Amino acid sequence: VGELHRTDANGNRIKLRFATMLARKK
Protein backbone atom coordinates (compact mmCIF):
# COMPACT_ATOMS: atom_id res chain seq x y z
CA VAL A 1 0.00 0.00 0.00
CA GLY A 2 2.92 2.36 0.68
CA GLU A 3 4.03 2.24 -2.94
CA LEU A 4 0.49 3.01 -4.14
CA HIS A 5 0.39 6.06 -1.90
CA ARG A 6 3.69 7.29 -3.35
CA THR A 7 2.30 7.13 -6.89
CA ASP A 8 -0.78 9.11 -5.79
CA ALA A 9 1.51 11.99 -4.81
CA ASN A 10 3.03 11.96 -8.29
CA GLY A 11 -0.35 11.91 -10.06
CA ASN A 12 -3.52 9.88 -10.35
CA ARG A 13 -2.56 8.84 -13.90
CA ILE A 14 0.43 6.93 -12.51
CA LYS A 15 -1.91 5.09 -10.14
CA LEU A 16 -3.88 3.73 -13.08
CA ARG A 17 -0.68 2.70 -14.86
CA PHE A 18 0.54 0.92 -11.73
CA ALA A 19 -2.67 -1.15 -11.56
CA THR A 20 -2.28 -2.14 -15.21
CA MET A 21 1.35 -3.13 -14.71
CA LEU A 22 0.40 -5.27 -11.72
CA ALA A 23 -2.36 -7.01 -13.69
CA ARG A 24 0.02 -7.63 -16.60
CA LYS A 25 2.63 -9.16 -14.28
CA LYS A 26 -0.01 -11.61 -13.07
- pLDDT tens for each residue of 1-26: 555 555 555 566 666 777 787 888 77
> What Cα–Cα distance (Å) separates residue 7 from each residue in 21, 25?
13, 18
> What Cα–Cα distance (Å) separates residue 13 from each residue in 4, 22, 25?
12, 15, 19
pTM exceeds 0.75, yes or no: no
Containing domain of residue 23, as a range? 1-26
Contact 4, 15 (CB under 8 A): yes
pLDDT at 17: 75
* Number of independent structural domains in the chain: 1
pLDDT at 16: 74
pLDDT at 23: 85
Q: How open is the CA angle 22-5-15, to the nearest 5 degrees?
A: 45
